[in-house]
């Protein structure tokens, strides 16, 4: 679904713009 892909892209971009602590958290989440 296009909406799902857009949400994931936005979420990834948001996590990437966060501090390294947030990115580490994202890595463990994925």
**Could you report the per-residue pLDDT of 1-30, keeping only the tens digit for each?**
689 999 999 988 887 776 555 555 555 554
Output the pLDDT for position 21: 57
Give residue 11's pLDDT. 87
pLDDT at residue 3, as a whole number: 92
Q: Are 16 and 30 in contact (CB under 8 A)?
A: no
Distance between CA 22 and CA 5 in Å, rounded?
21
Name every residue whose Cβ is closer than 8 Å to that of residue 23 and which is 6 or more positions away in sequence.
15, 16
- pLDDT of 12: 84
| Radius of gyration of the chain, Cα coordinates, nearest whole angstrom | 10
Q: Which residue has the tokens 């463990």?
A: 28
Angle between helices 2-16 and 20-29 (to 10 degrees): 140
Return the pLDDT at 26. Answer: 52
């Amino acid at each position: 679904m296009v909406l799902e892909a857009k949400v994931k892209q936005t979420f990834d971009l948001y996590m990437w713009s966060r501090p390294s602590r947030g990115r580490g958290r994202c890595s463990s989440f994925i």
